[in-house]
Amino acid sequence: MKIKEMRVNDLLIKPKFKAYMLLPILPIIAVMVYCWRYGASITNYFLPNSQWNDEVVYYKTIEGIIHYGIPKGYFGYNESHAIIGTFGAWSPIIYVFDSVWGKIFGWNYFSPIIARMFFAVLSFWVYAILCKPNCKETVCISLFLISFSLYTRYLVSQMADPYMTSLLVIFLALYECHKNTNDKKHHVIIAFIVTVLVLMRPYYVLLWLAVVDFKAKKRTMVFDGVIAVISLIANVMISRYMTAPYFSSLINLDWLRLLIQNPGEGIRNVLSILADAISLINNSVMQAFLNGDSVGLQYFIFYLLTVVLLILGIMNKAKLRYFPWVAINVILWFAIVLLYDVNVGSRHLMPFIVIEGLVIAREKSKYIIMGLVVVTCYLCLFRCIDSYLMACPTYSESLDIQLKGIEEQWAVKEELSEDDKWKNTVIWVLSDVDGAFPWQTLYALPPGMGINLCDYNYVTDNFSELKPRYIACTAEGEVSRLCDQNGYSLVVSGNDMNMCIYEKPY
């Protein structure tokens, strides 16, 4: 009997293409759409030209870590500094990803984007492999994420929020997978991810509410509770000893003290705070539709997600799949309103919006999903015109020349001090009588220098007792006049910008 010859094609394994295989490149596509929407080019990106002044503190802190293990000068506010170390107001844990990346691949103005894009791609690769969404779900996820351009803007920034979002995407992938398999390894990794997130920002402890539907034994639930408590305590200890106090307390507990001391007055105060917050948020939401206000935009989408999750919980028998997310949103809202700040706190909603959008995008109710996508597209792609929040920092030849000139002027200075951190610290005078200091020039400071933000009144009132060796101020203001009168020497002057840096006589 003749053996039937097999065709070559029969010997080849034909891989079947699945839509979810495209998810890892989703962040790249989102950035391309973002650049097209705002008329920018990612190849023309220039971090120092960003309007977000937090970024220069992040960047210089990480630069100091890469060069010295820890910055040589103090980061802080009105001469505040950490009890241990030299870090500013944020948990040092948020610097880990950039610091490791910079140590391995080097650190320059383009590094933050590459690092964030890499971890975003990695997180969606994990999500695709573990969750394997079908074609419809993949399309909905893609449309939602590309539409939510606020997430994309953070991808092209120096802020730490994209890393938190990437961790959340991996958390969700393991969360979905663990519900089906109840694999202990998944639970351990979930515990690790949530712990890291809590060490970054304490309200991520709310994620433990999302795993209440796991088929876990009592000892596992006790383990989760212990981990949650320990991570919160660790966050408090880090905040107490390893971060510098801000201008005012980042967490407002005045309402709680009043509530304890005078319950009646305390309740009236809390109700007043809530009423003011609701009024402010509602006004921001209205402005989102009228003028493209980014704060109101985030709150509206956050509200919309909460309502959708509530409806899905009522409609679906598996209520524990949705109600914990509703509880998370409600508690998070109260935490922002009572403990933090309504306007600044809105950006902390972004990671939760992304992860809950992924949860909803995998539902069978097509009308709810498409409604969410349409609203997000409309608000983020067509209405959001907030130039401060959304403008992509592009190359500025004049700023580049200015930065190189400042670097050359610093090059003749002696090396950083090994014994006095104040000698390695620059006061950044936020504003003066002749205007605000052009803080973008601080990118040109030597690696390891600390930046201490000080307001005008603090500097002028305490001028004779200021500890930092350097003062960065405007060229024609009151602070520069005081420097000249008190024998400070001019180290740096900006030819095309209203700025100068003085050195204190020692």
Q: Is residue 55 part of a domain?
A: no
Asked if 321 and 301 touch (Cβ cutoff 8 Å), the reply is no
Instruction: Name the burial class of residue 54, with classes exposed (0-12), middle (13-18) and buried (19+) by CB atoms within 10 angstroms of its CB.
Output: middle
Q: Considering 390, 410, 435, which residue would you say is the last residue of a domain?
A: 390
* Comparison of pLDDT for 19 and 64, the residue scoring more: 64
Residues 118 and 171 in one domain: yes
Q: Would residue 400 be called left, alpha or beta, if left means φ above 0 and alpha means ψ between -120 and 50 degrees?
A: alpha
Q: Considering 367, 390, 413, which residue would you say is the last residue of a domain?
A: 390
Range of the domain at 146: 19-37+108-390
Q: Is residue 124 part of a domain?
A: yes
**Average pLDDT for residues 366-387, to the nearest whole number?**
72
* Comparison of pLDDT for 1 and 28, the residue scoring more: 28
Residues 422 and 309 in one domain: no
Does pLDDT of 372 surpass 90?
Answer: no
What is the three-class DSSP state of 388? helix
**CA 72, 76, 80, 83 torsion-angle sign:** negative
Residues 374 and 466 in one domain: no
CA torsion, ordered 264, 269, 272, 273, to nearest 10 deg: -140
Closest CA to 85 of 468, 450, 455, 466: 450
Residues 364 and 440 in one domain: no
Residues 442 and 368 in one domain: no
Q: Is residue 46 part of a domain?
A: no
DSSP structure class, residue 445? S
Residues 403 and 386 in one domain: no
Does pLDDT of 185 surpass 90?
Answer: no
CA–CA separation, 31 vs 14, rounded Å?
A: 32
Residues 6+ apart with CB under 8 A from 272: none
For the chain, report the end-to-end CA distance as a whole number of angstroms.
101
Q: Is residue 148 part of a domain?
A: yes
Closest CA to 335 of 208, 205, 241: 205
Please tell me the predicted confidence (pLDDT) of residue 127. Answer: 94
Rounded to the nearest integer, the mean pLDDT of the chain is: 86
Residues 378 and 425 in one domain: no
Does pLDDT of 10 surpass 80?
Answer: no
CA–CA separation, 500 vs 475, rounded Å?
A: 6
Q: Considering 335, 356, 390, which residue would you say is the last residue of a domain?
A: 390
* pTM for this entry: 0.90
Residues 491 and 372 in one domain: no
Residues 444 and 308 in one domain: no
Q: Is residue 83 part of a domain?
A: no
Q: Is residue 326 part of a domain?
A: yes
pLDDT band, residue 387 (cuts 50/70/90):
low
Number of structural domains the chain divides into: 2
Q: Would residue 79 be called left, alpha or beta, if left means φ above 0 and alpha means ψ between -120 and 50 degrees?
A: left
Residues 489 and 373 in one domain: no
Please tell me the predicted confidence (pLDDT) of residue 363. Answer: 77
Residues 369 and 439 in one domain: no
pLDDT per residue over 280-296, tens digit each?
Answer: 998 988 888 887 788 88
Q: Is residue 49 part of a domain?
A: no
Residues 173 and 121 in one domain: yes
- Quickly list DSSP for 55-98: HHHHHHHHHHHHHHSS-SS--EETT---SSSS--SS-GGGGHHH
Does pLDDT of 76 surpass 90?
Answer: yes
pLDDT band, residue 5 (cuts 50/70/90):
very low
Q: Is residue 12 part of a domain?
A: no
